[in-house]
Chain A
Amino acid sequence: MPAGANFPSLPQVQSATFTHLTDAADSWAKTAELWESAFTEVRDATLRPGGTDWEGAGAEAAQDRTDRDVVPVRAAASQLREAASIARHGAGQMEANQRAVLKAVDDARADGFRVGGDYTVTDTQNGGTLGDRVARRTVALSHSHYIRHQLSMFARADADIASNIDAATRGLDKIWFTAPDDQMASHAMPASAAHDIPLGVTVLCLPGPRGGPWAFHCDVLYPDGHTDTYYTDDDESGGYL
């Protein structure tokens, strides 16, 4: 009796490898580490860029932004580590299930049965009494059922591990940052053009230092309570409180 269209054939199970799982596990673990270390480094560096203390509103804005950035990055790294753990354990589980299928096939062959690529079990012995043939038929069915059972376990493990990996990384590609100013303008642009002011924010501009390059120093309050600062030649005070 064929095993079914959804099951891998015997040659497929025999030649199956699971390095895609172990390789993915290694890659994801490294990637998670890289993500966290990069954003932690940037956050820490805002305290002392170039080895000197950085204070003031600009520093506070940068420190707040990079501090907030670490949160979603840690969550994303955690997702990747979870996927890596599932993949690593999954590879071991799949190898064990593979061995169980092949052992069941070997047992049938050791009893004198032929196992086809589609797991059909046929008797290689002819002759004997009717009782002998009935007994052999019973043993063949027993082997067939056991092989199918192991094959079913193999396929179910493959599906379960796949489902768990998929669940672990779901939404990873939708990562976003809560701090404003996501759309950064090039630093080559003039400051007045580099800071778009979205609806809903409140801006308070105070005169900058006499002789400075910018006439006003503006503090921005975003609807989520986050603040930022920028410099401009125009008093852009206003808001939507």
Chain B
Amino acid sequence: MDPTSAKLVRTVLAVYSYPRDVRALRVTAEGLQEFAARCKELAGELSAAGAPSAPGPSWQATAYAVGVSFARAAAAAETLSARIQATGAKIADAGCRYAHEDSGAAAQLSTVEL
């Protein structure tokens, strides 16, 4: 094998010896952080929505049922808000890790001897 071909083989082997995650990674850390920020925004919208209007007369059974249902919806909204917030934190976490990984992988590739 001539030196040029051998160099090419070494390069291909070096690149493809990396784990699948590193090779398949096309997303940017910035993109993940942007996504995480959007999750936080949505979480705020979810917890702010659904405020009850003025309650109906207390003698009406429907007024009581509406009040109870608003309370249930508010509790659900808090759960949903927390869930999206947690997803955002997970995404932000992934963004931080990928930023580290990407720089680590780039440094590693740059040291491959050709």
Contact = CB atoms under 8 A, between A and B. Distances in A.
Interface in A201-233: 206, 208-214, 217, 231
B105 A211 contact: yes
A45 to B, nearest CB: 5
A191 B53 contact: no
Given A158-B60, A163-B65, A213-B104, A27 B53 contact: yes
Nearest to B23: A56
Given A158-B62, A210-B108, A212-B101, A173 B94 contact: no
Nearest to B75: A173
Say what secondary structure dominates the interface of chain A: helix
**Size bracket of the B interface:** 35 or more
A73 to B, nearest CB: 6
Interface string B29-65: 0111011101100100110011111111101111111
**Size bracket of the A interface:** 35 or more
A30 interface: yes
Contacts of A101: none
A165 interface: yes
Interface stretch (A10-18, A102-110, A130-138): A10-18
Task: Give the 4 A-B residue pairs with the shortest CB-CB distance, closest first.
Answer: A50-B31, A20-B56, A184-B86, A173-B75
23 contacts: A16-B60, A19-B54, A20-B60, A24-B69, A28-B73, A34-B46, A38-B80, A41-B42, A50-B32, A53-B27, A54-B27, A58-B97, A69-B87, A76-B80, A165-B65, A173-B71, A175-B76, A181-B86, A184-B90, A186-B89, A187-B36, A211-B107, A212-B104
Interface of B: 18-22, 24-28, 30-32, 34-36, 38-39, 42, 45-46, 49-57, 59-66, 68-73, 75-77, 79-80, 83-87, 89-94, 96-98, 100-101, 104-105, 107-108
